[in-house]
Structure 1
């Protein structure tokens, strides 16, 4: 398969599937590069993991995001990506990829910050040599977001239908119980940080406030730095619009579309996703793709 075909296949993936592929590629490289160069196992990941020491973090501030692309082992990676795939399928039926990116990476950042704060404030963690890796905080943020946004929506778990808020409550309870165990306290704290972000984001969005809008603008500004500036043409041709031709769609078309989306989302929050008609589900799916 040529590089062009690979790019085409990658472009066709959903944003969640792209994140899964990136995490898998990083996991493979993190294992094979140190092996081929006969280096210690963490010789690559140590530059991207989130250290618990504040001064070490200041020297590699990018680690507040990059730690999420590295994993401690195969099963750590597998369960994180499995949960991301499950959660994102529901999420992307409601919203577009941009909002998933917001929730996921804000969850990663908030989980990392809670890890840093806890390991530098609470006496139980002082003096411990620890670092954080894994996408769990971002995955938990996406999961808890949908559990808080459509809490009464039922999903199939093995042979039973379970409401989403039961699933969210179960995962949070498991993390709270396991923190005192000490083996992966930092990881469980990061999960809780992601959970808080996901819950607050969903509840604020239900009230019409998108707390990730500023983060989205920040990402756009960062992306613009890497875009090639187009050369300005020396001459510009201007065409006069002929009388009688129709202009661009008027604003009330967009407002009508948004009102319909809001009505459907309100119906979901009250009665669950399954209460939607096929036409409403199709409309919401297409609207999510266009966001």
Structure 2
């Protein structure tokens, strides 16, 4: 039981990216036990007729993986890209990007209608990666033996590999990657215009979560001292904060992360944790 408690404790202390990784690992176990059942009921098939009888597969395919190497590579990549993403976006936006990427990848797969089935979270990860790259294309990633590499270069390589792969042995999977990438690009571009296209998805998730929350018959009255009441930031304060964030991101885009002052790095870190 101590192992189970340790896992629960680790999960509760994890951030959103790490919790998603725990979920992906957990779903890989039943795939090993009941492979055919999972493939039949939870992976996305190229047939529109089959999809209409299994509409949930447009999402569930993104939470299973076909092999140990598949899940290991995706989750390692998700860990590094996802945690970097949280420094510039909110946790809710991370969930939105990932789920929209899964949906976009699934739709691209259905449109192409290849043979086989679609499985894996790559489309969601591509949405996160491309969305982040669209925001901070010149951010430098430090790689062993290579040194600093611009984020847009890494992303361009992944997109190029997916395009070339359309003529390979896994055209459906590569089409899904490109579908997720397109979603990530469009989402960030809309955010830059002040439109968060993921708001309605947040509303759906919150509505579902509220169904499982315990309801108190008699709400408790709580008396607060005035000095303990947290004041909601005004619109002017929020606008000033956003301008400061945009200024720092512009600086990163032009000169790289290392050009930031210690205060700017601390400010960006605190914002990313909220």
> What is the TM-score normalised by the length of structure 1?
0.84
Task: Point out where structure 2 has 5 or more consecutive residues left out of the alignment.
Answer: none
Verify: 1:165 aligned to 2:152, yes or no: yes
Greater helix proportion:
2
Secondary structure of the corresponding residue to residue 155 of structure 1: strand
In structure 1, what is the equivalent of residue 45 of structure 2? 51
3-state SS, counterpart of residue 142 of structure 2? strand
Aligned to 2:26: 25
Higher alpha-carbon Rg: 1
Q: Does 1:268 align with 2:255?
A: no
Shift of 1:107: 0.4
Distance 1:143 1:240, change over 3 A: closer
How far off its partner does 1:158 sit?
3.0
Counterpart pick for 1:212 among 164, 176, 198 = 198
Residues 259/44 of structure 1: CA separation in 2 closer, same or farther (3 Å cut) = same
In 2 relative to 1, CA 238–26 (structure 1 residues): closer, same or farther, beyond 3 Å? closer
Q: Which residue of structure 2 aligns with residue 81 of structure 1? A: 75
CA RMSD of aligned residues (A): 2.4
2:130 corresponds to 1:144: yes
Residue number in structure 2 paired with 1:278: 262
**99-108 or 6-15: bigger deviation:** 6-15
1:139-191 Cα offsets, whole Å, 9 max, x none, are: 1111112222111111123322211111111111111111112x211100000
Q: Given the two structures, how large is their TM-score scaled by the length of structure 2?
A: 0.89
Contact 1:115/1:189, CA 8 A, preserved across alignment: yes
Which segments of structure 1 move beyond 4 Å, counting only runs of 4 or more?
Answer: 2-5, 236-242, 244-247
Q: Which runs of 5+ in 1 are unaligned?
A: 35-40, 120-124
